[in-house]
Chains A and B, each alone.
Chain A
């Protein structure tokens, strides 16, 4: 009875989870395809730069990251800080930082003595912004010492984890449901084995074959 109960709920869970994650899966699938095929003509877009010069006051703190956050508040910029003083600011500027949103980057150079911030907003086309949603939670490009500093990126990163775990749960549920269907077992075993062998070739096989 308990087993039957699990089968019943597992089936429901498979359907409901799949429906809940449907748009997320489409987003990551299509953006993944775009990232893998950046040579496609419709994906390519020339960025457009918009420059401005805005007044800023010198923050109390001397910490570069805290200064960047303070300047962001002053200039009403929101997003994930990508890099601070990387590359190093050129004189007369004392601070350089870049802020990432999926469809645009903001580069800020601040001259505290002059009380001026040079702001450059670089906007990309729709598909580039769309694809950046795929990589937005990734920390890999930001260096070991960086951390997520924007609450939206934190929420997005939790969602990404949830989708990854959800996909694994759906797979396990799907495999369980298939195993309950006795007439489908033979062909299913062939399909699953084909998948396992071809995947293992890339994950383990290449390293073993090409020592």
Chain B
């Protein structure tokens, strides 16, 4: 029993320390998203000169986008690649946390221009909070680093679940804290139920 307590306490400590920067990322970006802050909204956009590219005969839009950005020496997570036959354009959004590029290919001339915006650090936090997210299923995670972030985001959840569960266990062992702890747990449960029920019913 003593060994279980010691192991749990140590793991709670080590995993908590490891995860703390990630939790700061989520907490800060939560406040930004909650207040519609959209940091870096007014960041200036730089447009490159047109560069010739070869547009491959590729049905899969993600593969098409990846091929074209590779020719331009760009890398990052592709957004939704759009073919616009009426405008004779292919539009490829490429994201790196804190930096957004939009590659526009003129399919009539096979010339590509790159518009770059660097909204910066806070915008990067918001981007990471939303990634991979519920949209662009099958498209998101097309860049190794964002796939890694996806795993990290999932791991964050599992570690948070462990930290909270182990925290509850560590609290139950402390007899002196039981009464006030129960009051806090109860107060949290009541406010949680009231809020969730208010939103649902």
Question: Can you list, as one digit per residue, whether each of A13-26 has a CB less than 8 Å from chain B (1) or not (0)?
Answer: 00111111111111
Residues of A within 8 A of B161 (CB): 26, 29-30
Give the docked Cα–Cα distance between A181 and B12 (Å). Answer: 14
CA distance A161 to B52 in the complex (A): 48
Closest beta carbon of chain B to A207's beta carbon, Å: 4
Expressed in whole angstroms, the Cα–Cα distance for A191 and B16 within the complex equals 9
CA distance A67 to B67 in the complex (A): 50
- Looking at chain B's contact residues, the main secondary structure is helix
Does A32 belong to the interface (CB within 8 Å)?
A: yes
Q: Mark the stretch among B43-51, B83-91, B178-186 that contacts chain A.
A: B178-186
B33 CB, min distance to chain A CBs, angstroms: 5
Is B152 an interface residue, CB under 8 A from the partner? yes
Point out the residues of chain A lying under 8 angstroms from B18, CB to CB: 191-192, 194-195
1/0 contact string of A125-137 vs chain B (CB within 8 Å): 0000101010111
Contact B181 A16 (CB under 8 A): yes
Cα–Cα distance between A22 and B24 once the two chains are bound (Å) = 17
User: Of B56-64, B106-114, B127-135, which binds chain A?
Assistant: B127-135
Main secondary structure of the interface of A (DSSP, over half): helix
Chain A interface: which size bin? 35 or more
Q: Count how many chain B residues have C-beta atoms less than 8 Å from C-beta atoms of the other chain.
A: 70
Contact A210 B96 (CB under 8 A): yes
Question: Hey, what's the 0/1 contact readout for B16-47 against A, CB within 8 Å counting as 1?
Answer: 11111111111110110111101000000000
A129 CB contacts on chain B under 8 angstroms: 200
List the 6 closest pairs (A to B, CB-CB), nearest first. Answer: A199-B21, A139-B36, A20-B188, A195-B18, A23-B192, A191-B17
B-side interface residues toward A, CB under 8 Å?
Answer: 10, 13-28, 30-31, 33-36, 38, 75-76, 96-99, 118, 121, 124-125, 128, 130, 132-134, 137-138, 145, 149-150, 152-154, 157, 160-161, 164, 167-168, 171, 174, 177, 180-181, 184-185, 187-189, 191-192, 195-196, 198-200
